[in-house]
Structure 1
Amino acid sequence: MGYNRFGSNEAMEENFYLDRYYALHYKEGASMLDGLPEELKEVVDPHWGQFPPQHPFVAHLGGICYLFLTALSVFGNGLVMYIFLKCKKLRSPTNMFIVNLAFSDFGMMLTQGFPVGVGIFMSPVWPYGAFACKLYACLGNIFGVSAIVTMVVIGYDRYNVIVKGFSGTKITAGKAAIILLFIWVYVVAISIPPFFGWGGYASEGVLVTCTYDYLKDDWNHKSFMLWAFIVNYCFPLCVIIYFYSGIVKAVVSHERALKAQAKKMNVDSLRSGTEQNAESAEMKIAKVAITNVMLWFTIWTPYATITMIGQFGNRSLVTPLVSQLPAFLAKTASVINPFVFAVSHPKYREALASELPCLGIGNESKPSEEQTVTAKA
């Protein structure tokens, strides 16, 4: 005797069960869709019926991970929003982009991580019904794409300051508000077409989460997925690479110019005393820029690849775990972003040390030149 999916001993004999050693037993021909509630068939593709029942511990482990990520995201992004909005010196127009990124990540895990983490222990499949599955997927798309577009805007802001310098466009409070309004109108507009007949949302992987319906063969779904792949992944990736590669080139070029000038003047460096630290600070700008691009690429590429394989490639490669793991990896962005875009901000660390010294982050001393230069990144 042991765990059963359907709550009765008869069902245990007819479908599958766990023995006292937690080994999964199921009859020949059993599939993930056995016993699937009728109301969920609308959002579950027959593709998943070719796979045998998944060990419940896989889903339970995922539920624990989702709840853990939710706690980290809510804490980390909540701190970012609290500090940046409370401290007057941090309430600059461009810093509102960091606040918007934190809000997007906060909303992502609150609407995506918590329902799944709880739901997994309520039912072996999505427990909230077909419409809630579509709404869940739509909200995930809204908050996820909002975070992506906001990272593009942050990249532009840093490019504008570091590469363009005084010739760059100054972002005022009004311009920042317009940009933020555009971001949210844009992400909602590109996320709701499935509710109006273009594309669709459906359950995925081990059937505990929902996302784009990337397994339908008709051109309606294919065209939507191709469009989403371009506007949600390819275009943002190209723009981010352009901005941050420009930042790296500008920093490297500046360092080269300083060294050339120092050589002409027959000195080791044009900097002296504490200014020597500025050199490593400028190189840190380049390292942070490269890190931003690599993290973005690493986190989102597996998920984008799976959706394209499911839509245009060999679908036999899209197994439940192969589908579920990239979706989970994409959620980790909401935990990483506060550290990449906020904790690396020296003024944020200074304010955090002042407001919440119990965290032991940063210090209250006056920022050095190294910190000042790093803040521009």
Structure 2
Amino acid sequence: MAQFHNVSGFLPFKGNDYNFGYPAGVSLMDLVPDNVRPMIHEHWSKFPPVNPMWHYLLAGIYMILGFLSFFGNGIVMYLFLTKKSLRSPANMFVVNLSFSDFMMMASQFPMFVMNCLGGGYWTLGPFACQLHAFTGSVFGLCSLLTLVAIGYDRYCVIVKAFDGGHMTSGKAFFLILLCWAYAIVVSIWPFFGWNAYIPEGILTSCSFDYITQDWNKKSFGLFLFIFCYCIPVSIIIFVYVQIVNAIRAHEKALRAQAKKMNVENLRSNADANKQSAEVRIAKVAVANVFLWLLTWTPYAYVVMKGLYGNQDDLTPLVSALPGLIAKTASVYNPIMFAISHPKFRLALQEAWPWFCVHEPKDDDSKSSKTESEATK
């Protein structure tokens, strides 16, 4: 157990309300051994220790998220590798998302859990801290960018279907490589002196330095905010708004034509199935935008708050929770983009009949290419 030190010179917290069994006046940094202290920014010495139950609670949550992520993303990757019917350009993005999410949790939650249960601070040394932060950044950014690519693919299929905008395997592979290259290039800069990787929040995980108030750190934070949040979210909102508008315009045109012909609707049985797919895609589009904002906005807020706002509001828990929220994406992404879709559900039903998936087969061979791709 580390000895308690008063390293801050000032202790804004008073009384026994937040001691949780620690001596009065102890700061978060006082719990950290001397050999770990150089890694940690003095900002965290302003705050008292968090309730030790947070470490156990977060460790438990991360273990649950890790299991669910491995299970869901593992299923998606297995089905893609074993079922030829799923090997389409659109599904290349889905399986890349699953691989990235899988690796993100594999590289993050074991270290986090070890630190939570091993003392409540970073116990694995500077190199492991940099590795933890770098891999989390690469896989997290790749997942984020793959979501943008999935939105762009849906845009090509639905909005640009008659303008030669269909995605090919070669184009999909190029965009996937671009996602990985972008994520690696952004994440590698701290190794060359632009920003740095340090422990954050409750000190059981590592990330970019969004605390230090110099232009080196602040310029990198601004770069991240613009190129890894503002631009991706703008693209996502644009493509899904266009998708929803295209579907609404199509439905409006069909209703107007049916009214002129004095019939109830103009759809055949195959088109009726297509209508259902279109409505589903519109709902998924809205959900995608909402979940993307819910996942990444808290982390963007913390980074900008730390670099350009009032750092007194940036408590250990406020800094730690956005990372947890971002990692929940690795659990719901396979459900949103794969397991909930008919083609994957059919493959899942064939692979594991005991899985209680009941997806009716589409026997209509006249379904258009646009329909089949849009439902993947």
TM-score (norm 1): 0.90
Question: Alignment RMSD, CA only?
Answer: 2.3
Residue 299 of structure 1 contacts residue 333 of structure 1 at CA under 8 Å; is this kept in 2? Answer: yes
Separation in 1, partners of 2:345, 2:165:
27
Residue 198 of structure 2 contacts residue 208 of structure 2 at CA under 8 Å; is this kept in 1? Answer: yes
Cα 1:174–1:272 shift into 2, 3 Å = closer
Cα 1:233–1:362 shift into 2, 3 Å = farther
Give, in angstroms, the shift of residue 94 of structure 1: 2.7
Q: How many pairs does the alignment contain?
A: 361
Correspondent of 2:247 among 247, 251, 255: 251
Residue 119 of structure 1 contacts residue 126 of structure 1 at CA under 8 Å; is this kept in 2? Answer: yes
Task: Find the residue that maps to 1:164 and give its secondary structure.
Answer: coil
Correspondent of 1:262 among 258, 262, 274: 258
Separation in 2, partners of 1:317, 1:38:
26
Map 1:1-377; keep pairs closer than 5 Å.
5-6=1-2, 24-271=20-267, 275-363=271-359, 365-366=361-362, 373=371, 376=374
Greater Cα shift, 78-87 or 167-176 = 167-176
Residue 352 of structure 1 contacts residue 362 of structure 1 at CA under 8 Å; is this kept in 2? Answer: no
Give, in angstroms, the shift of residue 153 of structure 1: 0.8
Residue 42 of structure 1 contacts residue 130 of structure 1 at CA under 8 Å; is this kept in 2? Answer: no
TM-score (norm 2): 0.90
Task: Find the residue that maps to 1:247 and give its secondary structure.
Answer: helix
Give, in angstroms, the shift of residue 132 of structure 1: 1.0
Residue 129 of structure 2 contacts residue 199 of structure 2 at CA under 8 Å; is this kept in 1? Answer: yes
Q: Which amino acid aligns with 1:376?
A: A
Cα 1:312–1:70 shift into 2, 3 Å = same
Separation in 2, partners of 1:112, 1:367:
44
Residue 142 of structure 2 contacts residue 180 of structure 2 at CA under 8 Å; is this kept in 1? Answer: yes
Separation in 2, partners of 1:200, 1:285:
41
Residue 133 of structure 1 contacts residue 203 of structure 1 at CA under 8 Å; is this kept in 2? Answer: yes
Q: Which amino acid aligns with 2:324?
A: F
Give, in angstroms, the shift of residue 127 of structure 1: 1.4
Give, in angstroms, the shift of residue 278 of structure 1: 4.0
Give, in angstroms, the shift of residue 367 of structure 1: 6.1
Greater Cα shift, 177-186 or 206-215 = 177-186
Separation in 2, partners of 1:265, 1:277:
22
Task: Find the residue that maps to 1:166 and give its secondary structure.
Answer: coil
| 2:13 match | none
- Percent identity, aligned pairs only? 47
Separation in 1, partners of 2:35, 2:192:
20
Give, in angstroms, the shift of residue 179 of structure 1: 2.0
Give, in angstroms, the shift of residue 274 of structure 1: 6.9
Give, in angstroms, the shift of residue 175 of structure 1: 2.4
Separation in 1, partners of 2:299, 2:160:
34
Give, in angstroms, the shift of residue 165 of structure 1: 0.5
Separation in 2, partners of 1:91, 1:332:
26
Separation in 1, partners of 2:216, 2:316:
24
| 1:20 match | none
Separation in 2, partners of 1:338, 1:355:
17
Separation in 2, partners of 1:260, 1:126:
64
Unaligned runs of 5+ in 1: 15-22
Give, in angstroms, the shift of residue 275 of structure 1: 4.7
Residue 200 of structure 2 contacts residue 319 of structure 2 at CA under 8 Å; is this kept in 1? Answer: yes
Task: Describe the superposition over 1:142-189 as per-residue Cα deviations: whole angstroms up to 9, x where unpaired.
Answer: 000000111111111110010000313343332222222222122111
Greater Cα shift, 118-127 or 105-114 = 118-127
Residue 342 of structure 2 contacts residue 359 of structure 2 at CA under 8 Å; is this kept in 1? Answer: no
